Structure 1
Amino acid sequence: MKRTLIMVLSALAVAIGIWYWVTALNNTSASSLSESDVQSLVKQKYEGQIDRIQKVDNQFYVQLTNQNNTYEIMVDRASGDIVDFSKVSESTNEEKPRALLTQEQAKEKAVERVQGTVENVKESNDHYDITIKNNGGTHIVKVNRSDGSIANVSTAQENEHLTTLISKEGAKKIALEKVKGTISSVELEDDDDELLYEVEIDQSPSEEATVLIDAYSGEIVSIQFETDDD
Structure 2
Amino acid sequence: MAAFALGGAVIAKNKTNSIAENLSPQTRITKEQARKIALERVNGTVVDEEFEKENGKMVYGFEIKDASGKVMEVKIDAETGNIISVEQDDEDSDANGDDDEDNDEMKSDNTNLASQAKITKEEAQNTALKKAKGTVEDSELEEENGKLVYSFDIRNKKGTITEVQVDAKTGKIVSVEEEDAATESAEKKQEKMEKDKKKP
Q: TM-score range by the shorter chain?
A: 0.3 to 0.5
TM-score by length of 2: 0.36
Say which one has the larger Rg: 1
Q: Structure 1 or 2: larger strand share?
A: 1
TM-score by length of 1: 0.32
Q: Structure 1 or 2: larger helix share?
A: 2
